[in-house]
Amino acid sequence: NAGVTQTPKFQVLKTGQSMTLQCAQDMNHEYMSWYRQDPGMGLRLIHYSVGAGITDQGEVPNGYNVSRSTTEDFPLRLLSAAPSQTSVYFCASSSHTPGQDYGYTFGSGTRLTVV
C-alpha cells in the first residue's frame, strides 16, 4: 500500500545516545516533514523539506538534524538524546504541485522514550 513508512515503532534510548528515525514515502511527494506530539502541546514541526537536497527548520529544531538525499527518504537524527525528547514522532508528506495536492499523509509514528 502506498503511504509513509516509519521505523522503528518504539525505541528506548539512554541520555546522550544518538539514533536515526527513518521515514520513507512512495508517493513521489516533494514535501516531507517531521512533527513531535506531546500531551497538551499538540503537534509541533521539527524540520521539513521541499525537495531533495533542501531542508529547513520548523518550530522546535534544536537537538535534531535532517537531510534529504532522495525524494523518498527523510531521516531524523537525534544527536545526543535528552529526556525532553521523549515524545511521539510523526513523519508526513504531501504534494505541493497545484492540482495534485490531496493533503498530507502521515506515518504511524515512532514512540521514543529517553531515560
Residues interacting with another protein, by CB under 8 A?
Answer: 31, 33, 40, 42-43, 45, 48, 50, 58, 90, 92, 96, 98, 101-109, 111
45, 58 contact by CB (below 8 A)? yes
- Cα(109)–Cα(9) distance, rounded to whole angstroms? 6
Beta carbon of residue 37, minimum distance to another protein (angstroms, whole number): 9
Beta carbon of residue 25, minimum distance to another protein (angstroms, whole number): 13
Cβ nearer to another protein, comparing 23 with 81: 23
Cβ nearer to another protein, comparing 32 with 81: 32
109, 90 contact by CB (below 8 A)? yes
- Cα(24)–Cα(26) distance, rounded to whole angstroms? 7
Cβ nearer to another protein, comparing 30 with 82: 30
Beta carbon of residue 78, minimum distance to another protein (angstroms, whole number): 20
10 Å CB burial of residue 77 (0-12, 13-18, 19+) is middle
